[in-house]
Structure 1
């Protein structure tokens, strides 16, 4: 598993490094709610990405690494956790029955982000993308009920899957330590200059009431 994880993490970081030069500061209004995937992420900390790095840059790497963890847990579940696998298969079949799946097949930089912007007070949406997706989900038939014994067994398998995910995450954090210098160099070269230019432009556009030479 170690060699496979190393290869996958190396490829994920390389893909992120190729993407970073294309990153640009967002010009739209920022979101209010923090991203649960990136906030306080040990993955990002191991990679050397600090909390002051723009969220889009963080999300591009954290999502790629999450995909690796998800695949590892999926393989573990298929081999060792039959009840949980059955539940996942049933949910996957329900998802395939939905004709509108806006959160699928997104680029890593957008995966897992909210589908709609934060609402503006006094200006309600006529509709939301998330609302349309939820409406289709409601129309699907419910999953078959489970007995209490089956629920207890399923909870145990879910706990085992979580434990395995944490183990894989710790392994990946160790691997990411080798990439810290390259990651930080990419941020210094491609991200920080854009932020500094943005701040300089913002500063120059503000009025200076205490400047005697200002008109």
Structure 2
């Protein structure tokens, strides 16, 4: 686990110098992966850090937790594993899978931009993906006994995920200084430059030199 966290942070540190502020309109809905994330808190990344920078790290770390839970599930939770295998097979049968194999910086984000009032989309990527899913047959129904077993195993998987998450957060603490230094070096100067440019472009109604 320690090696995986080290590798994830190192990968994020290599990516941060390539980050640039987004020029498009920001999203209204908050990111459920990053909002209030204990991973970001452990890493020392505050809410004032741009979301793209947050998301790149939280996704990399979440992948570690997901893989650990997947291994635990395969070993110990047969009902849940069978359900996941059926869902995976169903997903692989879809003709259109736009949310797969994305870079960590984009994984888990909405597939489409926020709609603009009065300018509806002719189509959306999410809509096309939903259409592809609707063409597949539904999963086989579960018996009452299987549903009860599935609920119990989901609870066990959640408990294990929380345990792994706490361990990962503890390992992240040793990387706080390197993470904060990368933000200070590569992110904050770009934000300050944007603010300075915005300040210069605004007209001041109290400037006596203005006509």
On whether the aligned pair clears a TM of 0.5, the verdict is yes
Runs of 4+ aligned residues of structure 1 deviating over 3 Å after TM superposition are: none
Q: Output the TM-score relative to the length of structure 2.
A: 0.99
Show the 5 A alignment for 1:38-187: 38-187=34-183
Cα RMSD over matched residues? 0.5
Q: Which runs of 5+ in 2 are unaligned?
A: none
Counterpart in the other structure of 2:196: 200
Counterpart residue number, 2:210: 214
Cα deviation, 1:111-160, whole Å, max 9, x if unaligned, reads 00000011111111110000000011011001111111110110000000
Task: Give me the TM-score of the superposition, normalised by structure 1.
Answer: 0.97
Q: What secondary structure sits across from 1:126 in the alignment? A: coil
Q: Distance in 1 between matches of 2:142 and 2:17?
A: 50
After superposition, what is the alpha-carbon deviation per residue over 1:15-60, rounded to whole angstroms, capped at 9, x for unaligned? Answer: 0000000000000000000000000000000001000000000000
1:15 to 11, 19, 39: 11
The number of aligned residues is: 211
Q: Deviations over 1:50-108 (max 9, x none)?
A: 00000000000000001000000000000000000000000000011012100001000
Gaps of 5+ in 1: none
